[in-house]
Chain A
Amino acid sequence: MIDTQIRTNTLLEVKHLSVDYESARGAVHAVTDVSFAIERGQILGLAGESGSGKSTLAYAIARLLQPPAVVTQGQVLFYPSKLPVRLDKTSKDDAVLDVLALNPAQLRAFRWHDLSIVFQSAMNALNPVLDIEVQITDVLHSHNPQMTRQEARSRAVELLRLVGIAPDRLHSYPHELSGGMRQRAIIAIALALDPEIIIMDEPTTALDVVVQRDILAQIMRLRNDFGFSVIFITHDLSLLLEIADTIAIMYAGSIVEMATQENLYRHPRHPYTHGLLNSFPSLRGPRRRRVSIPGSPPDLRSVPPGCAFHPRCAFSFAACHTIQPTLLHVPCEGAKGCIEAPRVDSLSAGKRVTHVACHLYDATLNPEGPPESLESENVNQHCNVNQ
């Protein structure tokens, strides 16, 4: 029963994925044993500081990693809903696509048709010597060689309209467009083949707030119209809280907490999530001195043993120094502690369950349950707003 549900709703599943960067001074474990699933039409936010492995994870899913980056273990499974003209149908099970095992021809069909990616720096992602029309129609032609020039052009105009660029900018070069327009053009290219999932790697980080909001609103509208899923990568947690359905917090290459945006904001579990939420000054409520997370993110060549966050954690105890935490299911409200053993197969955070990798919630290691101060610390933010 549960299994069929996963089959129908799940679009992408990542299982135990690890990525290393080989270097002369030892391997850098950029992504360690990450598992999650995305449902159709869902926006998954990946938040973390620089060096937490969020971009590497996204690149691994899109098979964009170049040596020295190596996927050392894990699987990326994609469940397509549309049955595309696949170049060859070697895999017996049509319903599942093992992304990491695709051959070059299959990979070419998979990219952009099923999955596209929006990069952070639009100026670098666009070719400066080609105009926008050429760059959009290039995608259409290479995936759909029988398309006529006229068809491709009208599709390009349609795409520009979708993202809010006037069609007369079709012949503009990237340098003639403003930062916001360039980012819109990139999104238009990502939409060209109507993909089922779009990875957005800090799509609005370099933009001003007003432009950023326009573009995010556009993304939300397009998502509602076309129903694609989004993996949205950013370091700006306050932004994710507004747009994402589910948020995964990454620290030192692992997901430390995954929950729906509401649960993450109202009932954050991991001490690192608490710290992150506390790091953003708010526009409302009382102005109070905020305390930041002490220390700085670890060097990924020598991640601390046990929980990678323990040297910065005010609540760490003996087990944190030795035992590496795995994702536990924790109820969002009421009862404390772990409710069932971790089960990786259904790792898409439900409404009432938060996944958290922290020993504080492990009943065997910490029978008293998480400390009260952790529970109450962040909730006050929202209480003041409603008054």
Chain B
Amino acid sequence: MSTNTVTSTNEEPILEAVHLRKEFPLRKVNLFGPPRAVHAVEDASLALRPGHATALVGESGSGKTTVARLLASLYTPSAGTIRFQKEVVKTRGEAALRAYRRHVQMIFQDPFSSLNSVHTVRYHLSRPLRIYGHAHSAAEETRLVTSLLERVNLTPAEQYMPKYPHQLSGGQRQRVAIARALAAMPSVLLADEPVSMLDVSIRLDVLNLLIRLKEEEDLALLFITHDIASARYFAEETLVMYAGQLVEGGPSEEVIQRPKHPYTQLLLSAAPDPDRFGSTDQHGGRKETPWAQPVLAVDGSGEPSSLINPPSGCRFHPRCPYAKPVCRQQFPPRTELDGRHWVHCFLYGAENKTHLSEISLASPSVGQASPENSPLR
């Protein structure tokens, strides 16, 4: 199984985050109380490679957007380093930022608010060309804007140039936003939920466009999404984030077909999956699976924990049916599994092998989505 999923690991990462941490300080309620903060990202490490897409999957509030913004240098990390082409990124000063953003660009979720409504498409695309010194004359600018619009399939380009954002549909706006990011001629694209605001039939178009750009221009892509199915479609590598902690990662097929962390299993079992309704009986009536039973023995509210006072240790432990005392005390170390798949969970340490077999027998199947991929095989 691992043979087809192993991709070129030897490719050097172009953008690397090492032990990133971000806290947002909160205003004190009690003047003499301890300082409080939202612990948005805790010890995140990831690497982006040219021509590869990495998906970052998680629920809202899991800190995935914060990671993208840290990488885009829109926030400064509280701790940890970001390395671009092996050099530590300096984020002090306008010139250093500009030099960095020449290579690392971001696409935002909402194409309705990320474009300036008083400027034309041409203006949006010519600004980065001028700022980053790619266009020196009006003629060159027109040529480059035309080619940008053609690269994102907005043709005929001359027709789109004088248009304002309100004259474009959602999908067309997102294409303009992508073209604007490409105008800087970056080597890394950070896409923060680029398709979740778009209509279903348009989504695939934009995803396919990003895949094509990735392949043709050897871009390194970070794809942030809450939709694990599109992560599978889009990205070679998938990272799963819960409450600010990266809990599992590896080749997308590995992570999605053989999820290890209980949270990943929960996410997968909750994702809509039309194939599951194949459980209709002969009379066409619906069997009471899977709706009759709760997805997982999660706590009543079924929602992620607060990031102001996050649970100690593994932040998933209050919802985890397999939680052990040790999960409360410390965050589990990274366990390497087969095929570049890794997980932060005490269930998978070498010393826990005996414990594992007990669990797989005693507990109900977590990954209902795929019984053949028994979670703790």
> Which residues of chain A have a CB within 8 Å of any CB of chain B?
49-50, 164, 166, 178, 180-181, 208-214, 216-217, 220-221, 235-239, 241-243, 260-262, 265, 275-276, 278-284, 287, 289-293, 296-297, 351, 381-382, 385-386
Question: Are A213 and B270 CB-contacts (below 8 A) given A180-B301, A221-B292?
Answer: yes
User: Taking CB as reference atom, which chain A residue is nearest B231?
Assistant: A281
Let me know if A262 and B302 touch, CB within 8 A.
no
- Which 4 A-B residue pairs are closest in the complex by CB-CB distance? A281-B233, A292-B204, A241-B274, A213-B270
Residues of B contacting A236 in the complex (Cβ-Cβ under 8 angstroms): 200, 272
Q: How far, in angstroms, from A49 to B233 measured CA to CA in the complex?
A: 21
Give B374 Cβ to nearest chain A Cβ, in Å: 15
Let me know if A164 and B277 touch, CB within 8 A.
no
Q: How far, in angstroms, from A381 to B274 measured CA to CA in the complex?
A: 10
Interface residues on B, range: 35 or more
| CB interface residues, B 263-281, toward A, < 8 Å | 266-278, 280
> Which residues of chain B have a CB within 8 Å of any CB of chain A?
59-60, 169, 171-172, 199-205, 208, 211, 226-230, 232-234, 253, 256-257, 266-278, 280, 284, 291-292, 294-295, 298, 300-303, 369-370
Let me know if B274 and A214 touch, CB within 8 A.
no
Let me know if A214 and B295 touch, CB within 8 A.
yes
Give B206 Cβ to nearest chain A Cβ, in Å: 9
User: Taking CB as reference atom, which chain A residue is nearest B253?
Assistant: A287
**Most chain-B Cβ atoms within 10 A of its Cβ — which of A181, A209, A283, A381?**
A283
Contact of A217 among B203, B278, B291 (CB under 8 A): B291
Residues of A contacting B227 in the complex (Cβ-Cβ under 8 angstroms): 209, 281
User: Taking CB as reference atom, which chain A residue is nearest B172?
Assistant: A296
| A279-B204, A290-B208 given; 14 more Cβ-contact pairs under 8 Å | A178-B301, A178-B303, A209-B272, A220-B291, A238-B274, A262-B280, A262-B284, A265-B274, A279-B201, A281-B232, A283-B268, A287-B253, A382-B278, A385-B278
Q: How far, in angstroms, from A210 to B291 measured CA to CA in the complex?
A: 13
Residues of A contacting B171 in the complex (Cβ-Cβ under 8 angstroms): 296
Contact of B169 among A214, A220, A296, A382 (CB under 8 A): A296
Let me know if B253 and A235 touch, CB within 8 A.
no
User: Taking CB as reference atom, which chain A residue is nearest B208?
Assistant: A292
Residues of A contacting B233 in the complex (Cβ-Cβ under 8 angstroms): 281, 287, 290
Let me know if B277 and A180 touch, CB within 8 A.
no
Let me know if A235 and B278 touch, CB within 8 A.
no
Q: How far, in angstroms, from A211 to B230 measured CA to CA in the complex?
A: 19
Q: How far, in angstroms, from A163 to B153 measured CA to CA in the complex?
A: 47
Let me know if B59 and A210 touch, CB within 8 A.
yes
Let me know if B291 and A221 touch, CB within 8 A.
yes
Give A321 Cβ to nearest chain B Cβ, in Å: 21
Question: Are A180 and B302 CB-contacts (below 8 A) given A281-B232, A351-B284?
Answer: yes
Q: How far, in angstroms, from A275 to B201 measured CA to CA in the complex?
A: 8
Residues of B contacting A241 in the complex (Cβ-Cβ under 8 angstroms): 272, 274, 277
Residues of A contacting B229 in the complex (Cβ-Cβ under 8 angstroms): 238, 280-283
Let me know if B226 and A284 touch, CB within 8 A.
no
User: Taking CB as reference atom, which chain B residue is nearest A181?
Assistant: B301
Residues of B contacting A289 in the complex (Cβ-Cβ under 8 angstroms): 208, 211
Let me know if A209 and B226 touch, CB within 8 A.
yes
Let me know if B199 and A235 touch, CB within 8 A.
yes
Let me know if A242 and B59 touch, CB within 8 A.
no
Let me know if A292 and B205 touch, CB within 8 A.
yes
